[in-house]
């Protein structure tokens, strides 16, 4: 009988310690280290070290290659985020806050795939079959051939799958409820989740079925975060949304078979998630262009242009150290734009609180937003409202010079399509295609400040 060994494992990042401690040195989280027991020796155990390796085959780099076979769901926003459909034999993790709509999305995907003839099995460890059926009814998915299983034990799940005939897609909702006979720890701990996910990934590779794993993201670290699993799977998608807003974004953060900068946009309604093929209209819908401090940024998400409003509030501060608060953009990036405005353009912001918000709870990850942020800040400080039909994009360097950004033509086309007619952009953009937009091409952010100040 193997000796039981206990170790202390961080539930957030999976680091292993021999003793308990309050803070995980690897990820910096507090109170995430939990004692777990694992049967048998780890590396170097007597049974393991005896096995002699069998030689494998060495292959040339050139040779037959093939495009990964995909199953497209027909839900365009989902297929876009996965890079053209879910790859057969791959494992995908979909993470997100509890209640954001992961189960809804996957039930709709299961129904869509099943209508296209795929064999889909939905394993629910969180909800009873009756509950899943109720949701399926609401989503008009009941008439499909999706099969349900309410099970949390990995060995039982695998045994059922083995008997079920070859499924094309297996959905596991969620990995936090999985437990395996092979690990002694409590369900939900890192060891259990990792063991369970490993077996399911092995099943995916061996059977050719795609496995979609649902994982809740929790701040507390009580339940194992899916971060440990991220390294094991082929693709990681995050389903995000902002409280109080109905739209949801499916963002790819890792993809071994496709690009990682694509997003899928959905809107949650009473009949489930609806695709949003034109996100700009959604984000600009909440626009208030009559007050100073609002600038429209022509952004890009992967191959798709997205227009959003950036709102700034600059107000005299009563604090020794003025406040800087940012929602939807990078704090260090804001600090940089503020410093450039102050040092290069003489815009005095040192005695002011600065609040920056991206409308609709949207999150921007491009430096191309620099110019729009600067425009919003200067507009708020000077009290001058920006023209309602103007968009801004371009990067600002520390010298105050503007720098061209990629996909300029596409950004301008989208803005024109949505009724904008003016664009403030960096000068010297190479190969800028002709468009009907009036262009203000500036070499320095100081030119932007001067234009706004002139009214
Ligand atoms: P759910 O998919 O259960 O979230 P998760 O699996 O990520 O925890 O969705 C939860 C929320 O979505 C819930 O608050 C109700 C809402 N919802 C709708 O608004 N419309 C719908 O058609 C459905 C099915 C859910
Ligand atoms: Mg759920």
Tens-level pLDDT at each residue, the chain (455 residues) = 555 678 898 887 888 899 999 998 888 888 888 888 764 434 444 445 567 888 888 988 888 777 778 999 889 999 999 989 999 999 999 988 888 999 999 999 999 999 999 999 999 999 999 999 999 999 999 999 999 999 999 999 999 999 988 899 999 998 989 999 888 888 778 888 889 999 999 999 999 999 999 998 766 534 455 677 888 999 999 898 876 778 898 988 899 998 887 889 999 999 999 999 888 877 787 676 678 999 999 999 887 889 999 999 999 999 889 999 999 999 999 999 999 999 999 999 999 999 999 987 788 989 999 999 999 999 999 999 999 999 999 999 999 999 999 999 999 998 998 889 999 999 989 888 888 899 999 999 999 999 998 87
Residue 135 CA: nearest ligand 1 atom is 24
**Per-residue DSSP letters for 57-124?**
----SSS---PPPEE--S-HHHHHHTTSSEETT-EEEEEE-TTSSHHHHHHHHHHHHHHTT--EEEEE
CA–CA dist 263, 87 (Å, integer)? 17
> Which residue has the CA at smallest separation from atom 18 of ligand 1?
270
Residue 100 CA: nearest ligand 1 atom is 7
Residue 187: alpha-carbon gap to chain centroid: 26
3 state SS of 234: coil
- In the chain, domain spans: 4-42, 70-277, 282-453
Question: Quick check: 125 and 151 in contact, CB under 8 A?
Answer: yes
- pTM, two decimals, is 0.79
282-453 classified as CATH 3.30.230.10: yes
Does the annotation flag 100 for ligand binding? yes
Pick the closest to residue 423 from 286, 431, 435 (CA basis). 435
In short, whether 135's Cβ falls inside 6 Å of ligand 1 is yes
CA–CA dist 296, 152 (Å, integer)? 48
For the segment(s) 70-277, the CATH number from 3.40.50.300, 3.40.50.2000, 2.40.50.140, 3.30.499.10 is 3.40.50.300
Residue 204: phi, psi to the nearest 5?
-60, -50
Helix count (H) and strand count (E) of the chain? 12, 23
């Amino acid at each position: 009988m193997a000796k039981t060994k206990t170790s202390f494992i961080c539930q957030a990042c999976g680091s292993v310690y021999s003793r308990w401690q309050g803070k995980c040195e690897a990820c910096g989280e507090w109170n995430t280290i939990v004692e777990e027991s694992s049967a048998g020796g780890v590396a170097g155990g007597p049974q393991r070290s005896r096995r002699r390796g069998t030689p494998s085959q060495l292959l040339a780099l050139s040779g037959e290659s093939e495009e990964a076979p995909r199953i497209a769901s027909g839900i365009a926003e989902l297929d876009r985020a996965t890079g053209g459909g879910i790859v057969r034999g791959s494992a995908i993790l979909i993470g997100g806050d509890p209640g954001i709509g992961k189960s809804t999305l996957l039930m709709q995907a299961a129904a869509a795939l099943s209508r296209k003839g795929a064999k889909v099995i939905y394993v629910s460890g969180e909800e009873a079959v009756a509950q899943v059926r109720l949701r399926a009814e609401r989503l008009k998915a009941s008439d499909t051939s999706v099969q349900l299983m309410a099970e949390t034990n990995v060995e039982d799940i695998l045994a059922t799958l083995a008997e079920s005939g070859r499924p094309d897609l297996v959905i596991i909702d969620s990995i936090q409820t999985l437990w395996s006979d092979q690990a002694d720890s409590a369900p939900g701990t890192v060891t259990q989740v990792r063991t369970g996910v490993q077996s399911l990934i092995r099943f995916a590779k061996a059977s050719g079925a795609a496995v979609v794993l649902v994982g809740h993201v929790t701040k507390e670290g009580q339940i194992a975060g899916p971060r440990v699993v991220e390294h094991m799977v082929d693709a990681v998608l995050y389903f995000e949304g902002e409280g109080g807003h109905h739209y949801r974004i499916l963002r790819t953060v890792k993809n071994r078979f496709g690009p990682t900068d694509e997003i899928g946009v959905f809107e949650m309604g009473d009949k489930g998630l609806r695709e949003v093929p034109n996100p700009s209209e959604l984000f600009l819908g909440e626009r208030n262009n009559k007050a100073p401090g609002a600038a429209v940024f022509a952004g890009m998400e992967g191959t798709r242009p997205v227009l959003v409003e950036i709102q700034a509030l600059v107000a005299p501060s009563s604090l020794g150290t003025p406040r800087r608060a940012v929602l939807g953009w990078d704090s260090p990036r804001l600090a940089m734009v503020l410093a450039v405005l102050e040092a290069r353009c003489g815009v005095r912001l040192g005695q002011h609180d600065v609040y920056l918000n991206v409308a609709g709870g949207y999150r921007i990850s491009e430096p191309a937003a620099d110019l729009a942020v600067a425009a919003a800040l200067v507009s708020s400080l000077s009290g001058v409202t920006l023209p309602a039909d103007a968009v801004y994009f371009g990067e600002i360097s520390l010298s105050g010079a503007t720098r061209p950004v990629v996909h300029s033509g596409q950004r301008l086309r989208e803005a024109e399509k949505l009724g904008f007619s003016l664009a403030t952009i960096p000068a010297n953009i190479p190969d800028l295609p002709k468009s009907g937009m009036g262009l203000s091409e500036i070499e320095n952010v100081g030119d932007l400040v001067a234009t706004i100040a002139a009214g």
